[in-house]
Amino acid sequence: MNKTTLIITALVVASLAALYYKTTYRSNTLISRSRVGQTEDALVIGINPYPPYVIIDNNDVTGFEAELIKEIGQQLNKKVEFQNMAFTSLVASAQAGTIHAIACGIAPTAERAEKVLFTKPYVSNDPLVILTLKSHAPIRNVQDLLGKKVVVNQGYTADMFISSIPGMNIMRLDEVADGFMALQSGQADAFVTARSSAQPYFNSKKESTFSATEIPGSSESIACAVSKAYPQLHSDIERALEKLQKNGTLDALKKKWNL
């Protein structure tokens, strides 16, 4: 190998190392990991942006569940590492053991419970709502959605709920902000999501722009989903949640994030 080749190789390696560091630091996520171990000092959590549960802003990962997981990490004497990925990849990653748990507004279902271990829910009675522009004709119930273009966030409860209704014209998008943008740009007629996930947007924008109609009987609960590869960790997280409930931390976080 000549000197020029050695120099080029060194520059490539240095560039890749710099990119790895930059991406890891800016996203506060893990870039690659084969299988995490239960005895490691890190608690590796799979996330997807879903306000108010998880908010990713440049270097910072915050939100109700992000802060709750950090509190759990302190209880377990583990540092928390977040791995950001598509919501539809989270359960498969937990099954493979490449993450310890999922914490981003995931609702327990019978199908998911076959693949992961859920903690006791820490958020309950969070209904789905139909969001529309007030300048458009009102949508008062689910049947009014037929013949309309309806946005949901892929993989979440709203997606499963609307998908179960025959004849729906569904647009699946990744993030809550994408749903609001689709409404405002005229790409969609309605956006169905959990009330809690819409509230941060209402808090930051003029609420008078949108109409919100609650879907009766659609309330969901939110819990942490732990990989079945780490049953002891599931028990440890449950105990940590009990402590956080007793000492008031859990209620304080719910109040902070309007849950």
Confidence of residue 9 (pLDDT cuts 50, 70, 90): very low
Taking the CA atoms of residue 85, residue 52, residue 117 and residue 214 in that order, the dihedral angle to the nearest 10 degrees is -110
pLDDT exceeds cutoff 80 at 12? no
pLDDT above 90: percentage of residues in the chain: 73
The arithmetic mean of pLDDT across residues 226-255, rounded, is: 97
pLDDT at 19 exceeding the cut of 50: no
Q: The domain 33-124+221-256: what is its CATH number?
A: 3.40.190.10
pTM summary value: 0.80
Q: Report how far residue 247's alpha carbon sits from residue 244's, in angstroms, rounded to the nearest whole number.
A: 5
The answer to whether 227 touches 94, Cβ cutoff 8 Å, is: yes
C-alpha–C-alpha distance, residues 76 and 94, integer Å: 19
> Which residue in 106, 123, 125, 129 sits closest to 198, CA to CA?
129
Percent of the chain with pLDDT over 70: 83
Give the pLDDT score at 25.
24
Exposure string for 49-79, b = 16+ CB within 10 A, e = fewer: bbbbbbbbeeeebbbbbbbbbbbbbebbebe
The pLDDT confidence band at residue 200, using thresholds 50, 70 and 90, is confident
Closest CA to 81 of 113, 103, 96: 103
DSSP 166-208: TT-EEEEESSHHHHHHHHHHTS-SEEEEEHHHHHHHHHHS-GG
Choices 2.60.40.420, 3.30.530.20, 3.40.50.2000, 3.40.190.10: CATH for 128-218? 3.40.190.10
Where in the chain is CATH 3.40.190.10?
33-124+221-256, 128-218
pLDDT of residue 38 exceeding 90, the answer is no
User: Who's near 215: CB < 8 A, 6+ residues apart?
Assistant: 127, 128, 129, 130, 141, 142, 161, 192
pLDDT at 210: 87
Task: Dump pLDDT digits (tens) for 50-79.
Answer: 999 999 988 799 999 999 999 999 999 999
- Cα separation, 76 vs 119, in Å, equals 16
Q: Which pLDDT does position 176 carry in this prediction? A: 92
